[in-house]
């Protein structure tokens, strides 16, 4: 959203505590903001008549409160409830409302842990690796390994992926190993071997895989993937920037070279700082 939003209702001196999100809210816009940002983990506990009463009395919006109570009486779905609320406030344009509703529909049948894992998966895919790790660790606290071994193993594996992408291969190997001990899978085993290879000397690694009796095909595939990764030149913003820097230096364009170096490193530093931000909303 890039446009200004006219505030609706008043700022309350008494907060409303949203149990499912673990947050206090003081205004309608704050409520809308948290609903949108936490769409992946919103549950039916948001459909509470006490929230309607709060909107009516504390925020001084009786008409909106009545609309919400009517929806509760009609027992509408969570997706309809939240998106109607956001539409009544005028917080999002139509296209974004549709996206939020689809998220709510897709997640309706998921457990709390599955919803939080999905959020962590999105952080991982968005390359917010430290924040993804933080979220995965939080989910692990609500999952029992013996009751939900598949999701538990999947979370451990994805923590390993996040650490590997941060080049912290010893921790990556630890989580991959923990994952395959619960649920042995080829992909996790390959990732485990690759992480070990990045932390061990060649002869130590060879003795280890021989002693542990790993399948020759899996060992070979792990090696082949590493060789392919070393030979490949991914078209990323990083590689493009480095190519441009090298070209400027080769052409003797000194001032432009130093300017590009400074700009590039400034961007990378900021991206690193963004990665290291830890969620504080637990």
Residue 30, token pair as written in the block:
């704050």
pLDDT digits (tens, 9 = 90+) for 194-227: 999 999 998 999 999 889 888 889 999 988 888 8
Q: Which of 3-17, 82-96, 194-208, 214-228 has the weakest average pLDDT?
A: 3-17
pLDDT of residue 46: 84
When pLDDT is cut at 50, 70 and 90, the band that residue 238 belongs to is low
Average pLDDT, integer, range 91-102: 85
When pLDDT is cut at 50, 70 and 90, the band that residue 2 belongs to is very low
pLDDT of residue 145: 87
Question: What percent of the chain stands above pLDDT 70?
Answer: 87
pLDDT of residue 9: 56
Residue 274 to residues 158, 187, 270, Cα–Cα distance (Å): 20, 29, 6
pLDDT beyond 60 at 273: no
pLDDT beyond 70 at 20: no
Rounded Cα distance between 32 and 184, Å, is: 42
Rounded Cα distance between 104 and 126, Å, is: 20
pLDDT of residue 279: 35
Higher local confidence (pLDDT), 14 or 157: 157
Q: How many CB atoms lie within 10 A of CB 221?
A: 17
Question: What percent of the chain stands above pLDDT 90?
Answer: 26
Higher local confidence (pLDDT), 153 or 282: 153
pLDDT of residue 281: 35
pLDDT of residue 21: 63
Secondary structure element (H or E) that encloses residue 16, with its range: strand 16-18
When pLDDT is cut at 50, 70 and 90, the band that residue 99 belongs to is confident
Residue 64 to residues 105, 124, 216, Cα–Cα distance (Å): 23, 37, 65
E-only strand ranges, 71-220? none
- Max mean pLDDT among 2-11, 72-81, 106-115, 228-237 falls in 72-81
Higher local confidence (pLDDT), 265 or 182: 182
Residue 88, token pair as written in the block:
């009544």
């Amino acid at each position: 959203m890039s446009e200004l939003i006219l505030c609706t209702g008043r700022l309350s001196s008494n907060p409303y505590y949203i149990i499912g999100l673990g947050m206090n809210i003081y205004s309608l816009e704050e409520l809308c903001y948290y609903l949108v940002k936490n769409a992946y983990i919103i549950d039916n506990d948001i459909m509470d008549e006490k929230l309607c009463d709060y909107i009516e009395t504390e925020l001084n919006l009786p008409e909106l409160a009545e609309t919400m109570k009517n929806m509760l009486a009609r027992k509408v779905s969570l997706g309809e409830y939240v998106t109607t609320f956001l539409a009544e406030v005028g917080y999002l344009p139509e296209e974004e409302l549709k996206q939020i509703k689809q998220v709510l529909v897709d997640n309706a049948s998921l457990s709390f842990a599955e919803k939080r894992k999905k959020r962590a998966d999105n952080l991982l895919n968005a390359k917010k690796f430290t924040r993804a790790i933080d979220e995965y660790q939080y989910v692990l606290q609500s999952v029992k390994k013996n009751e939900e071994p598949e999701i538990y193993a999947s979370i451990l594996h994805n923590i390993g992926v996040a650490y590997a992408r941060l080049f912290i291969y010893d921790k990556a190997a630890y989580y991959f190993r923990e994952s395959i001990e619960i649920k042995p899978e080829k992909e996790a085993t390959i990732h485990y071997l690759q992480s070990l290879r990045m932390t061990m000397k060649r002869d130590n690694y060879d003795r280890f895989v021989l002693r542990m009796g790993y399948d020759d095909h899996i060992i070979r595939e792990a090696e082949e993937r590493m060789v392919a990764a070393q030979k490949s030149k991914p078209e990323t913003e990083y590689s493009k920037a480095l190519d441009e820097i090298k070209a400027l230096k080769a052409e003797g364009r000194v001032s432009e070279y130093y300017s590009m170096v400074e700009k590039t490193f400034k961007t990378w530093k900021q991206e690193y700082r963004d990665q290291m931000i830890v969620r504080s909303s637990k």
